[in-house]
Amino acid sequence: MKLSKLKKRLFVMAKNTVIICLVISFLITGCTSILSSDKKQREEFGENWMVIHTDKGEDTINKNIYGHFSEHLGRCIYDGIWIGEDSEIPNTRGIRNDVVEALRRIKIPVLRWPGGCFADEYHWKDGIGPREQRPGMINTHWGMVKETNAFGTHEFLDLCEQLECEAYVAGNVGSGTVEEMQDWVEYMTSDTDSEMANLRRMNGRDKPWRVKYFGVGNENWGCGGNMSPEYYADLYNRFQTYVRSYSGNRIVKIACGPGSENYPWMTTVMERSHRRMNAISLHHYVRGTGNWTKKGSATQFGESDWFALMKNTLTIYPLLEGNIEIMDQFDPRGRIGLFVDEWGTWWDTESGTNPSFLYQQNTLRDAVSAGIFLNAFNNYCDRVKMANIAQTVNVLQAMILTEGGKMIVTPTYHVFEMYTVHHDATMLPFELECSNYQFEDEEIPSIDVSASKDASGKIHLTLCNLNPTKSAELVCELQGTRPSSVTGRVLTADTLNAHNTFDKPEAVRPDAFDKFDFEDNILTATLPPKSVVLLGIE
C-alpha cells in the first residue's frame, strides 16, 4: 500500500492504544490534540478519548452503503413484498404499501435482486408476460418449494420506482448463457427497435428502465457454480462484454468477489479482470459462539453469545483492509468500488418455520452489530461504495417482519433510520483511544464510531457501546469547530435479547438522548451499555 493510503487508514481507524495514536500524530504533521497531553491529564479526564478532525474530511460516504438485498427466498418476496393485486392487504399493483412506506422512511437507496443463490438458477424470461402463462420452477436452493414467477422483472422494477431507489440486478452465470444475459439487459434498458425492446413493449412497458447496477454472477465460488477463481474470471470477461449500456443508460458492472477471507479469489479475479469491472463484491456473515450448522438462537442467549457476536462483527475491519490492499495492487487509483452486497447476522431459524426459509427474529444484539458494520463501511468509504444487508423482509437480519396483514420493523431497521444522516455526507477522520470490553479471558474495544459532516455543515457521530453491562464516558475533542448546540438519540433496551413482536411492536425503538455536555470544543457523553447513540452537532 502507498504511504499516503497507509496514513489515511491509520488516521481514520486508530484504536485502543496510546502507541497507535502517537504514530498517527507523527505521520500526520500539524496534528495537535488533547490526546497528546501528558498521562496525568488523560487520567483526569478518563479512559475513552476521541479527536475528530472536522476540517479534514475528503471522502464522501456513498448513500448506497445503506442498500438492501431481496431474494426469492422464504417469505422475502412472496408475503413480504408481493401479495398480488387481489389481496385484501393494501397494495399498489400487487406490492405491499406498508412495506414500501417503511422502506421509504429509511431512504432506501438501492435494492439488489433476484439473489443470492437464486440468481444463478433464475431464467428471466420465465418471469415476464401474463402471470397466468408464466411457467413455474422449483426453488432448489431454498426449500424445494414452487416458484410461480409471479414476481419478475416488471414487478421488481416497479418496486424500485415506488421506492425511488436504484435497481441492482444480479445476472445468471452459473446456469445461464451469454445470450440470456445480453437479452435481459437489452429488454430492460434499450429504447431501440429491437426484438427484446419490442418484447418489453408488448408486455406493457414502452419506456425502458434505467438499471444502473448489474452483477455478473453471485457467489460463483459456491452456490453459483463451485468455480475456481481462474475459471470465473475468464467467464466474467466473456459475459460482461455483452452487458451493454443502451439508450443513455450507463451500467456499473460488478464482478463476483470473495466470501469473507477468501483472499486468493480476490487476488485472481482482480488480476485477470480488473480492467473490465467497475466494482467487485464481498460477502460477510457473522454469528455468535455457534458454528454454521448450529448457529444459535436469535433470541435465547447470554453474554457469552453477545460478546462472540461483537467480536465476530469487528472482523469486518481487518477483512475490509485485507481485500482493499489487494484491490490497491491492481487498481491504485481507486477506480473500482468494493460492494459488500451481502452482510449481516445469521442465526438458527425460528421454531415452527421452514428451516430453508431463514426466518429469524432480530434483537438489540443485531442492531449493535449493524451499527458496527455501518460504521466500518463509513470509515472505509474511499473504497466501499455500496453495501446490501441481507435481507429486506422476513429473511435473516431483516428490516421488516410481516404476518399476514401485520407488519413490524426491527431494531436493525431503527439503526438504518438513525444512520440516514450519513447518506452522501463527508466522512470525518478521527482518532479513538478507548477501554476494552472484557469477557472471561478475551477482550475487544468497547466503543465503535464513525463521523460525518453533511452539506449544511452539521456534524453527526454514530457511536456503539459494545459492553452490555457498563456505560462508557467518552471525551471528544472537535478540532476545527466549536459547537453551539448538540442533540442526541439512543437505541438501547433493558435486556440483551429485547426485540419487537407483533404483540409488542415498539419494545425496541430510538429515544431522545441527553447524557452529554459540551464546553468550547470539548464534548463529553455517557454512552449507555449495549447501545447505539447518534449525536448531531451544530
Q: Give catalytic residues, as residue numbers.
A: 219, 342
Tally Cβ neighbours within 10 Å of residue 484.
8
Number of C-alpha atoms within 13 angstroms, CB side, residue 341?
A: 32
Distance CA 261, CA 407 (A): 36
Taking 3-state DSSP, the helix, strand and coil percentages for the chain, each rounded to the nearest 5, stand at: 30, 25, 45
At 469, list the grid cell: 453491562
Distance CA 69, CA 365 (A): 21
Q: Residue 124 has what DSSP assignment?
A: G
Distance CA 135, CA 152 (A): 12
Contact assessment for residue 424 and residue 60, using Cβ atoms and an 8 Å cutoff: yes
Phi-psi region of 110 (alpha: psi -120 to 50; beta: other; left: phi over 0): beta
Return the HEC string of 319-342.
HHHHHHHHHHHHCCCCCCEEEEEE
Which of 219, 265, 217, 209 has the alpha carbon at shortest distance from 237?
A: 217
Tell me how far apart the terminal alpha carbons of the chain are, to the nearest angstrom: 36
Residues whose CB is less than 8 angstroms from the CB of residue 218 and which lie 6 or more positions away in sequence, other chains included: 115, 116, 117, 119, 120, 170, 173, 174, 224, 256, 281
Place of cell 393494501: 90
State the Cα torsion 269-272-278-279 to the nearest 10°. 10
Per DSSP (E only), the strands in 264-393 are 279-286, 337-345, 384-390
